[in-house]
Amino acid sequence: MGADGLRATGSAQIKRYADDLTLLYPETRLTENPTHACLDLAGSVLVVDDVMYRGHSMLRAVEYLACRQPAEIRTVVLVDRGAAKLPVRTDIIGVRLDVAPSDVIECNVPPYGDSFRIDLLQPE
């Protein structure tokens, strides 16, 4: 447990790229790291996503975690596009951007990107 009282326990990777239709999976896929399969999730769980678009990724993550019965599930997104169509609730939102459906929001966050940056890409 860290000095802030938080304990990092593991991660699950959810693949769905709703902004880029060339990468869109027909069904959201959740891949659990096998080494984290037996983690005790009795406490609070924080789900962090980069972009909330229609809500598919967040819903799948929350459904999966709910089956593991944590005491509490909280959700955070860096960017909310304001277009969610599924019954998901975001507890903390970094920024809300109301953009055209064809626009792509790309989040770069260390260590996955060189620096923290949110880019709005508009098709030509």
- Residue 46 confidence (pLDDT) above 80: yes
In-domain check, residue 50:
yes
In-domain check, residue 21:
yes
In-domain check, residue 79:
yes
Residue 29 pLDDT grade (very low, low, confident, very high; cuts 50, 70, 90): low
The domain total for the chain is: 1
- What sign results for the dihedral spanned by CA atoms 69, 93, 33, 25? positive
- Residue 21 confidence (pLDDT) above 50: no
CB 117 within 8 A of CB 102: no
Which percentage of the chain shows pLDDT scores above 70? Answer: 74
Question: Region 101-124: what's the mean pLDDT?
Answer: 86
pLDDT tens-digit profile of 55-81? 888 888 888 888 888 999 999 999 999
In-domain check, residue 122:
no
In-domain check, residue 88:
yes
In-domain check, residue 61:
yes
In-domain check, residue 118:
no
Q: Minimum mean pLDDT among 1-5, 10-14, 102-106: which range?
A: 1-5
What's 17's domain CATH number? Answer: 3.40.50.2020
Q: Which residue range forms the structural domain that includes residue 56?
A: 12-97
120 to 41, 75, 91, 123: CA distances (angstroms):
36, 23, 23, 10
